[in-house]
Amino acid sequence: MSELAAIAKERKRAHTRLKNLESRVYAAFVEMEEAAFADGALPRMHKELIAVGISVCLDCKSCMQWHIEQAAQAGAEMRQVLEAIEVGMEMGGGCATVSARFALEVLDDVFAA
């Protein structure tokens, strides 16, 4: 199993487990996430692109994968996602440039022709 598939599988497993355990904190997080990424003054796609850059700064592989996928689903083009990754690199410096390597793998996977 590829690293990308393993991360997605673990994320789904943890999501299901927390929901099945009726975690109030997790339910509140999911509700906050839905509110944060809903269309508003900024469209969802722009919010997902912001999250891509932040994910690169935080070096959160699961976050990078999720938000790149969500940005694409919201209509972002490959170059838009790449620029969000680049903003994350600039904001995070050298460490974020290393994180961006993983984001580029996800970019290739999501936008494979």
Distance CA 17, CA 51 (A): 24
Distance CA 72, CA 51 (A): 13
pLDDT per residue as tens digits for the range 9-26: 999 999 999 999 999 999
pLDDT at position 113, please? 56
pLDDT per residue as tens digits for the range 62-84: 999 999 999 999 999 999 999 99
pLDDT band at 1 (very low <50, low <70, confident <90, very high): confident
Distance CA 44, CA 12 (A): 22
Residue ranges of domains in the chain, CATH in brackets = 3-110 (1.20.1290.10)
